[in-house]
Structures are given as structure tokens and as C-alpha cells.
Structure 1
Amino acid sequence: MSHRNIDIDALTEDRYVEEFDNLTTQSAEEVEAQVQAKASAVRSALMGNNTQVALAAALENPPYGRQFRSAQDQNGQLVMDVLSSVRSSDIAGVVKALSPEQLDTLSKYIYHGLAHPATYNCGTLLSWHEKVVDAGGLGAIVRVLTDNKTISA
């Protein structure tokens, strides 16, 4: 006689399939090529001191799914490069120009960076987080924490 209504043994990591893993027909190589093309566009925008365009391009169409870990890492590094290139006095203006969806995606990257303090500058990320919460409210935090689509492990 079991007191459980859910078979928790069926929820092991080996048997778990994310809902969006099978939504794309693209291969990992195709997604990495898209990220690399995006990276060249972002870097050219940064060379022209157009950080708003660079950030919007870096946040556009992030790779979701376990099969795209390499592309996720590349895209995450690209977003972090853009965030670190913006002067702290310009952060509020850049954030205000982002759409709510872009704010949520940016929050995912900020939380990812904060989870890896040895790799990323947490002081910069906290400055960005403050401005994102000012622009998007507490709802931005809740949406990111409850979203199943993660940008990396």
C-alpha cells in the first residue's frame, strides 16, 4: 500500500524529457552557427558603440534545450561581453529600451552569471539586476524563476 499518488521513480534525470527539447528540428551545429552569426553582428554593433542594438541582438532567440549546451555557453558569453562593455551610467537607458520578453531573457543571463562568480563580475551583474528590476518589476524575477526554459545548466 503506497501513500504516494505520483511515481517519483519515473522522474529520474535519465528519464526526464523537457517539453521544448523536441520543438526544434535544428541540429546542434545549426544552432551554433546561428549563435556565431549573431556574435559577429553583436561585435560589429559594439565596435560602433551601439550597445542597445548589440544587447537586443544578443538576447534575440536564445538557444533552449539540453542538446544545445555549447551554443548556450557561447550565447551566454556573448551577452556577458555586451553587459560588461556598457558603462554603469548607461545601464538604465539601455534597460528601459528593452521589451518585457528581452528583460526576462536578460534576467536569465544575469542569474546564470551570478551563479558562476569565478567567471563573471558579480558587481556588474548586480548593477544590471537592479536596473532590470526597476524596469520590469518583481514580476520579472518571478517569471524567470518559474520558467522551465533555461539558458544553461
Structure 2
Amino acid sequence: MDVNFRKIDVDQYDEDVLLDSELYEADPRDPAQVLDDAKQKATAVRSSLSKGDIVGALTLVLTDTPYGPNVEEAKNLNLQTLVTILNSTKATEIPGVVRSLSQDAQDTLMKYLYKGMGLPGWGDVSGSVLLGWHEKLTEVAGTGCIVRAMTDRRLV
């Protein structure tokens, strides 16, 4: 039995197909600049963490996050930087840190938590850390944060 028909992209025949590029505006920055910005953020975050400024480090990594096509390396670097912050935060400090974030930063944090949960066997990320942050973030920001993170087309 031939099942190759299942591999045909039927959307190519539909003139009303909706493309990802039509759903949101792409990041206007050049991919090389986005990667450079992510590297600078990682350095600044390490500096903030050495000073014990978790809120500042988290705010820094959650602003101007890379999104869109052709910036996968910058996205992964930003995720690694965020995971470093999450791993270095004590469980008792999480609610206070989450409360100090803006709503947009909370939504972006939720996107990163789901991205981390979606990576099977990913290096230094622990499921218990991600679930702990998810629990505290949901308590503070509510379920609306989850809905906004899942429906936003700008994937981190």
C-alpha cells in the first residue's frame, strides 16, 4: 500500500493559506546582531548573578528576546542563560522574583518554561526546577499567563 499521499503539502494548493510571516512582524534586527545581543546579555546576566541580583538578571534576559526565523542559535543561548538563573534561585525566593516582573516578562518567562519542558533530556535543565517555577508563576500571574504564552505566535 502506497502512503506517499500523506506527505503532500496540501496547503500549497490553497490560495488562502495563512503563513507564519503574516501572523506577526519578524524581528527587525539582523540575525548576527541578535546573536551578538544574546551573548552580551549572557555576560551581563553572569555579572548580575555574581552580585546576587536575580531580579535584574531575569529582567535583562526577558527583555528583547529573540524570536522569528533564522535566530535559533540566539534563542538557545538565551534559554541557556535563563536556565542558569532558574537553577541559581532558591525556591523560597521565586514568588518574590516573579511578583517583581512585569506582565510581559511573566508571559515571556512562561514561554521559556514551556520551551524548556519541551526539550527531551536537555543538559542542565531539571524538570523539577521548571515545574517549581511554573507553579509559582501560575500562582502569581494566574492562568491568563499560560493562555497568553500559548497563543502568542512569537516563539522564543
TM-score if structure 1 supplies the norm length? 0.85
| 3-state SS of 2:134 partner | helix
Q: In the superposition, relative to structure 1, how do residues 30 and 139 fare at CA in structure 2: closer, same or farther (>3 Å)?
A: same
Q: Please report how far the alpha carbon of residue 21 of structure 1 lies from its aligned counterpart in structure 2 after TM superposition.
A: 5.7
User: 2:38 aligned with 1:35, yes or no?
Assistant: yes
Contact 2:35 2:74 in 1 (8 A): yes
Alignment match of 1:123 (pick from 113, 122, 128): 128
Instruction: State the percentage of identical aligned residues.
Output: 33
**Runs of 4+ in structure 1 over 6 Å off:** none
Matching residue of 1:58: 61
Q: Please report how far the alpha carbon of residue 8 of structure 1 lies from its aligned counterpart in structure 2 after TM superposition.
A: 3.1
Unaligned 5+ runs, structure 2: 1-9
User: 2:124 aligned with 1:146, yes or no?
Assistant: no
Q: Please report how far the alpha carbon of residue 10 of structure 1 lies from its aligned counterpart in structure 2 after TM superposition.
A: 4.9
Unaligned 5+ runs, structure 1: 1-6
Q: Please report how far the alpha carbon of residue 16 of structure 1 lies from its aligned counterpart in structure 2 after TM superposition.
A: 3.9
Q: In the superposition, relative to structure 1, how do residues 95 and 10 fare at CA in structure 2: closer, same or farther (>3 Å)?
A: farther
Q: In the superposition, relative to structure 1, how do residues 47 and 10 fare at CA in structure 2: closer, same or farther (>3 Å)?
A: farther
For this pair of structures, how many residues does the alignment match?
A: 141
User: 2:110 aligned with 1:107, yes or no?
Assistant: yes
Contact 1:21 1:66 in 2 (8 A): no
Matching residue of 2:137: 132
The superposition leaves residues 102-142 of structure 1 with CA deviations (integer Å, 9 ceiling, x where unpaired) of 00000000001111241121100001001111111110000
Contact 2:62 2:105 in 1 (8 A): yes
Q: Please report how far the alpha carbon of residue 28 of structure 1 lies from its aligned counterpart in structure 2 after TM superposition.
A: 1.1
- Counterpart residue identity of residue 138, structure 1: T
- 1:10 and 1:62 map into 2 onto residues whose CA distance is 35
Alignment match of 2:80 (pick from 77, 80, 86): 77
Contact 2:59 2:105 in 1 (8 A): yes
Matching residue of 1:9: 12
TM-score if structure 2 supplies the norm length? 0.84
Matching residue of 1:92: 95
Q: In the superposition, relative to structure 1, how do residues 85 and 23 fare at CA in structure 2: closer, same or farther (>3 Å)?
A: closer
- 1:98 and 1:112 map into 2 onto residues whose CA distance is 19
Matching residue of 1:4: none
